[in-house]
Structure 1
Amino acid sequence: MKMAKSGKRERHQDSCEQLPDVDVFLFSKGISASDYFITDSGSIGFRDKNGREFDLIIDHPRLAIAALNRLKALGVGSIV
């Protein structure tokens, strides 16, 4: 893991870098497609088992696009 001068993890910059498996990224922690939603701004959110809503923070631009496209393909819709 590369560290920036500030001591924080660097954002992924390499466009040649292989993406992690999107399904593993989205669903490996027990979250199902029905737990996800897409906001009006196009970001991804999810609900925990208590109904609390959270933003899914993805610091890799290509992974964020792949995750959004995968959720749309699974029929995850926007919240109103």
Structure 2
Amino acid sequence: MDECPRCQGSLEELSLGDVSTVSCPHCEYADIPVEHESVPETPESWRDALNRFYEETVPKVDPVEVESAPNANEEPEPIARED
């Protein structure tokens, strides 16, 4: 293959080790087989995405019991204003 099947330009041979292929510097054709059809993935729901995010990023820690201050249930005394 001396001529590009797309643009009829001259082809360059590219090789790496025992493998070689041809490429067109004009239209960027490459003689590499590819699959252009793909199977669409099932979309991830927002709930699943957020759950995955929190599972991966939020550190897993045991809840710590917080002791209340001795006077936590009492009403605070009002502060007198100075006019």
TM range (shorter): under 0.3
Q: Output the TM-score relative to the length of structure 1.
A: 0.23
Q: Output the TM-score relative to the length of structure 2.
A: 0.22
Higher helix proportion (structure 1 or 2): 1
Higher RCO, Cα 8 Å, sep 6+: 1
